[in-house]
Amino acid sequence: METKFKKFLILILFIIISFFFKKKSINIEKSKLENIEKFIKNEYFKKNKNKEKEVIIENNVLKLSISTIGGNIKNLFLKRYKNYHNNDENLYLIKDNSSLFGLEFTNKYCKKLNTYEVEFIPKIKEDEFKYTINMHAKLDNNVSIYYVYVIYKKNNYNIDFSIRTKGFSDFLSTNLEWNQKLLRLEKDQKIENNYNKIFYSINKLKKKINFLNQKKNLHKKAKNIYWIANKQQFFVSILLFKTPLKIYKSKKIIFFLKNENVHSINKISNLKIKIINKNNKEFNLSNKWYFCPLDYNLLKKNKYGFENLIQFGGGVVKYINRYVFLYLFSILEKTNFNYGLIIILMTIIVKLIILPITYNQYKLNSIIEIFRTSFDDINQNKFKNLKLDKKIVINSILYAIIQIPIFYSLFNLFPTLINLRGKSFLWIDNLTYYDSIFNLKFNIPIYGNHISLLTILYSISLLILRKINNSKYKTNNNSIYIMSIIILLFINNYSSGLYLYYFISNIINIIIYFYYKKNL
């Protein structure tokens, strides 16, 4: 009986001792984590200004500074472009940490460590082609995080960015997060906000891209992602993942675009990716940043499908813009003429191409006019010359069919063509935005708070065309005037380059009409 009691006491003592040592080992692990947490605070978007330093690097097209606290790009501006919101010579895509990229690690004790407050020590290397910035954050003897930035010289907008850890193999998961405030860059914020969208690609092999439709979904969940882009009207910030993300559970990628706050229409994008560490491996990720203008030829060189970010329209309209109007514009651009003159030349060339169809359209109108006139007033000689053959009918139908895609193609082209951004012509200061000859102190619904001369000229030319076409019929002229005023109300805020084209096009149509009437 005593021996059994002794064995029982020994067993109890063993359990107490093993529990004590286990608790002690847990406390040791926790104390290590507490030491690490001295370097990492769990407060996002705040910086330790006393310790913060900046590494400044530039090439021919961009200049950036990288903060030693958090290892983020603190400021980045494009050298060849201007901010038309505040007339700043420097166009910042990132300013004062408006874009933050960070990692949040979670261990088996559910302790969360994030990189936003980590202090990095930078080392810079330079060779003939690039700058390499090695950022090292030592959190403990065997715990480190490495960020490596590679900025290429000359005219490169892309930045290689890789992340590597040491001593993080025991962490169960990593949350990758990228937040960016889309800074105001253009003349009119409401128009600019219409182009602020998130685009993404999920397949490396296909160039097909998707976008977050905020009318249908406030946020998007995805199973995989290749690259994601915060697109603005003329510029874009892209994060591309060179190495596939090891996401074992479905729908662990979430991103959204929202207003900064209730009282603001400034947009903020957010990307969250949860990566599960199943094999107890170190975190290793290779990325690319692109901070660049939405220049079609520039984006196409990257071969990632970035050129599809430019909203040239859908269906046949997209292809007309890419392979007809953009090609024609590129040829005319080589003349080094003023961009307003280039638009006028482009209008003349397009009208000359479709001139035979336009001429036959007027021919058909004349035949219809004769048939509508009373039989006694018919000029028999004219009637003989104006035979209603198949060619005239087919050409008139073609004229109507061609006009529609041309109209919608140009409607999408001019507001997104970065070549026209900030380019002036006569009284117009920016061909991608509306012209204003007088600013009102109040806002008129639909019309706006300014008076655009170009849209007035377009409306007058359209009115003249309609009066010419309706002069031979008994129509109510009042309806023509009313329609012209209604059109003027709706088009006052559109691109001046677009309505310069339409105005010149109407003038050419009027000239063709009177030439035809004279030689009839």
- Is pLDDT above 60 for 27? no
pLDDT over 60 (residue 287): yes
pLDDT at 244: 65
370: confidence class by pLDDT, cuts 50, 70, 90 = low
Confidence check: pLDDT of 34 > 60: no
Class of domain 29-310: mainly beta
Element (H, E) at 333: helix 326-333
Percent of the chain with pLDDT over 70: 75
Average pLDDT, stretch 400-422?
A: 86
SS3 content of the chain, % helix, strand, coil (to 5): 40, 30, 35
Average pLDDT over residues 373-389: 49
Q: How many CB atoms lie within 10 A of CB 155?
A: 11
Show the tokens assigned to 147: 């960020």
**Where do the domains of the chain lie?**
29-310, 316-519
User: What's the mean pLDDT in 299-309?
Assistant: 87
Whole-number average pLDDT of the chain: 79
User: In three state form, how does the secondary structure of 340-387 look?
Assistant: HHHHHHHHHHHHHHCHHHHHHHHHHHHHHHHHHCCHHHCCHHHHHHCC
Going by pLDDT thresholds of 50, 70 and 90, the confidence category of residue 46 is very low
User: Phi and psi for 145 in degrees, rounded to 5?
Assistant: -125, 135
Tell me the two tokens of residue 462. 């359209």
pLDDT band at 55 (very low <50, low <70, confident <90, very high): very high
Q: Are 59 and 78 in contact (CB under 8 A)?
A: no
Q: Are 117 and 38 in contact, with CB atoms under 8 Å apart?
A: no
* CA 74 remoteness from chain centre: 21
pLDDT at 430 over 60: yes
How far is the C-alpha of 121 from the C-alpha of 130, rounded, in Å? Answer: 20
Residue-wise pLDDT tens digits, 235-255 = 999 999 887 676 666 557 887
Predicted confidence at residue 440, as pLDDT, reads 85
At residue 501, does pLDDT exceed 50? yes
Say whether pLDDT at 26 is over 50.
no
- Residue 116 has what pLDDT? 85
**Predicted pLDDT of residue 393:** 59
Strands 173-181 and 54-58: unpaired
Q: Which of 195, 159, 290 lies closest to 236 in space, CA to CA?
A: 290
Going by pLDDT thresholds of 50, 70 and 90, the confidence category of residue 368 is low
Out of 53-57, 109-113, 393-397, 486-490, give the one with best mean pLDDT. 53-57
User: Between 465 and 343, whose confidence is greater?
Assistant: 343
Between 59 and 201, the higher pLDDT residue = 59
Residue 445's identity, in one-letter code, is P
CA distance 97 to 74: 5
The DSSP bridge partners found for residue 158 are 290
Specify the pLDDT at position 278: 72
